[in-house]
Structure 1
Amino acid sequence: MTAARFSRSDLFSTLTAQLGITLKPELLELAFTHRSFAYETGAKETNERLEFLGDSVLGLIVTEELYLRYPDLDESRLSPLRSGIVNMRALADIARTLELGKYIRLGKGEEVTGGRDKNSLLADALEALIGAIYLECGFATTTTVVRTLINETLESAMAKGAGLDGKTALQELVSSLGKGTLEYLVTEEGPDHDKSFTAVAMVAGEAVAQGIGKSKREAEQSAARSAYEILATLK
């Protein structure tokens, strides 16, 4: 079933009930207005400004949560742990638990190419939603909502050892297994203002896993974590 078959008001009621908050419908519409929709319909605003705001708010909340929850971890472990939560893939997975794909207003081109399930669009929509919550409800309420949303992702990341830098952990594992050299092949696509990077973790010349991110570092870290999970089964 496509988003067009849903009543927007019913959808928004479902979402706000999930989050335990109330938000103005017009603010939610803005949070889910992708630039492709604005381009095709002539809408004056997109969710990009809310995304920009939400990204900063999310980063602060996650950083504070990690600082308070793990007082024994130093910066060298807190930073990669934060990256394991605040990255496109992780945020997209959280967005899927809220079914944000069905709320996004897309242009026809994005619609037919599966835009509702693209990691980049879902992550952006989640950040825009967080920005909207912050504007409407303030920092305290936004913190409560975000903590609930990231809790499972955070616990999963800790269980997988994401408190360690992904690339460092993979390098140590590759060395312990005597697997030879480790390198990353990185490609990029998209315009300068919206680039996407793909990194492939290569061990002894063979591709083990790939990762996608909005920066080269994020893509490499994602590839490293996936490769670590695969190679760890060989120990």
Structure 2
Amino acid sequence: MESWLRPFLAQTFNWVSTQNLHKYGAVLNRFLPGILENEEATKRALQDDKSQNVEEVQKIIGYDFNDRDLLRQAFTHTSHHKDCISYERLEYVGDSVLNFMITKEHFFKYPNLPPGLLSPLRAANVDTEKLARAAVKHSFHKYLQHGKPILTRRIQSFINVLPEYPLHSHGLIDAPKVLADVVESTIGAVFIDSNSSIDTTWEVATILLEPIITPEMLETNPVKKLYETCQKHKLKVRVVDMWSHDGSFEVFVDNQMRGKGMCHVKKEIALNRAANKAYNEVIGMLSVDISQDPITGICQSYDQFWVRIEQSYNNLKEESWIYRNKKSLQCRIALIEKAIRKLSGCIRQIENLHPSGASDIDIINQAKMLLMQEPTYKKGFKFDHV
């Protein structure tokens, strides 16, 4: 049966195709011009959108490109479409130029800062999170051309968590590298378009990176901060790595669990989160002595807190004129002067971290914790009467 059925079906198919081909052709002739016209209109609309994007980005960075294709390239991810010219080469240039410019700026701005502090200061201003924050601040993610929905989700997750860390999380959140890349590629595009002008490129970079992290704003990595604090107070730290099992770390201080951090994406972030929680627990435990200070402990407002510090300082200063020969008193005053200068910086830092405002008691507590880390406090700086 199969021997005669196959030729029959073949002949039937050919007949149907021949009889109906002119009908399909008529349909195509009727609709094809409209389809092509719509395609051209779509291309023109996309081109107009890209031109508008270029104009908007130029306003953001304060620079008009001679070659606008460079700026378009700076915002094109490799996933945008096949054979597209992506930002990778411009990112390579921007990364090198940005590191050089930051190094130059810090070298001349902080002539007394040693290399041991210059290096982390530069790193804090060019790391992935810092640049990703800059991209979000200037809405660069809205102009990024890519073809990966997962990138959109990661960027949105990053944006959602930013309010928890207004300045920098110091390794506690996962910043999408694509956001940092587009900032570097933009800087690279400006550098190439401006005939390698460092001055012009730096003007754009300062707009993008504002606020630039200063030595006073520099924070220590949570793990390093925890170990340094515990070592200073002779506390034993033990870290339990369970990341391969459930994406977590546990930190024990003197055999008591003080922090647990989780992150299934990056092991380093899970460790940092655990260390940060443990550090805050330890600081809270050690800050009991500070809360019982006869002057700062009874303050209920930021103004009272600062007034009492000044009163304590002025009282001691007056006594120093009466007892000039008391070296211990003079030494005590020097410690207080140093601590007050440090506390002023701490309070400015706290206020920067709370641009929307914070309660007085929160500012006081954070100031106490920051002050407590200072060797001057441990050497005898107390706001009590001599």
Under a length normalisation based on structure 2, what TM-score does the superposition of the two structures give? 0.46
Amino acid aligned to 2:206 = R
Q: Partners of 1:215 and 1:15 in 2: how far apart?
A: 35
Tell me if structure 2 keeps the 8 A contact 1:184–1:220: no
Tell me if structure 1 keeps the 8 A contact 2:258–2:281: no
| Partner-residue secondary structure (3-state), 2:79 | helix
1:172 aligns with 2:231: no
Aligned to 1:9: 51
Q: CA deviation at 1:144?
A: 1.8
| Partner-residue secondary structure (3-state), 1:154 | coil
Aligned to 1:193: none
1:20 aligns with 2:20: no
Q: Partners of 2:274 and 2:107 in 1: how far apart?
A: 24
Aligned to 1:33: 76
1:160 aligns with 2:217: yes
Q: Partners of 2:59 and 2:127 in 1: how far apart?
A: 26
Tell me if structure 1 keeps the 8 A contact 2:259–2:278: no
- For structure 1, which segment, 122-131 or 7-16, has the greater mean C-alpha deviation from structure 2 after superposition? 7-16
5+ residue gaps, structure 1: 189-197
Amino acid aligned to 1:181 = V
Matches within 5 A, 1:200-219: 202=251, 204=253, 206-207=258-259
Alignment counterpart, residue 76 of structure 1, candidates 98, 116, 137: 116
| Partner-residue secondary structure (3-state), 2:103 | helix
Tell me if structure 2 keeps the 8 A contact 1:34–1:104: yes
Tell me if structure 1 keeps the 8 A contact 2:251–2:274: no
- For structure 1, which segment, 15-24 or 98-107, has the greater mean C-alpha deviation from structure 2 after superposition? 15-24
Q: CA deviation at 1:113?
A: 3.5
Among all aligned residue pairs of Structure 1 and Structure 2, give the percentage whose two residues are the same amino acid: 24
* Residues 72/167 of structure 1: CA separation in 2 closer, same or farther (3 Å cut): farther
Q: CA deviation at 1:182?
A: 6.0
Tell me if structure 2 keeps the 8 A contact 1:81–1:165: no
Alignment counterpart, residue 208 of structure 2, candidates 149, 154, 157: 149
* Residues 146/211 of structure 1: CA separation in 2 closer, same or farther (3 Å cut): farther
Q: CA deviation at 1:88?
A: 0.5
Q: CA deviation at 1:115?
A: 4.8
Q: Partners of 1:30 and 1:134 in 2: how far apart?
A: 14
Q: Partners of 1:104 and 1:92 in 2: how far apart?
A: 13
* Residues 176/121 of structure 1: CA separation in 2 closer, same or farther (3 Å cut): same
Q: Partners of 1:132 and 1:180 in 2: how far apart?
A: 50
Q: Partners of 1:222 and 1:140 in 2: how far apart?
A: 37
Aligned to 1:136: 193
Q: Partners of 2:127 and 2:49 in 1: how far apart?
A: 31
| Partner-residue secondary structure (3-state), 2:211 | helix
Provide Cα deviations, 1:161-195, integer angstroms capped at 9, x if missing partner.
33x6765444322334555316596979xxxxxxx
| Partner-residue secondary structure (3-state), 1:36 | coil
5+ residue gaps, structure 2: 1-45, 159-174, 285-368, 370-386
* Residues 179/110 of structure 1: CA separation in 2 closer, same or farther (3 Å cut): same
Computing the radius of gyration from Cα coordinates, the structure with the larger value is: 2
- For structure 1, which segment, 26-35 or 176-185, has the greater mean C-alpha deviation from structure 2 after superposition? 176-185
Tell me if structure 2 keeps the 8 A contact 1:36–1:110: no
RMSD over aligned CA atoms reads 3.9
Q: Partners of 1:123 and 1:84 in 2: how far apart?
A: 13
Aligned to 1:55: 95
* Residues 199/19 of structure 1: CA separation in 2 closer, same or farther (3 Å cut): farther
Q: How many residues align?
A: 214
* Residues 97/226 of structure 1: CA separation in 2 closer, same or farther (3 Å cut): farther
Q: Partners of 2:121 and 2:238 in 1: how far apart?
A: 22
| Partner-residue secondary structure (3-state), 1:35 | coil
Provide Cα deviations, 1:52-97, integer angstroms capped at 9, x if missing partner.
1110011101111111111111000110111111111111001111
Which protein has greater RCO, CA pairs closer than 8 Å, 6+ apart? 1
* Residues 180/55 of structure 1: CA separation in 2 closer, same or farther (3 Å cut): same
Q: Partners of 2:221 and 2:51 in 1: how far apart?
A: 43
| Partner-residue secondary structure (3-state), 1:131 | helix
Under a length normalisation based on structure 1, what TM-score does the superposition of the two structures give? 0.72
- Richer in strand (by share): 1
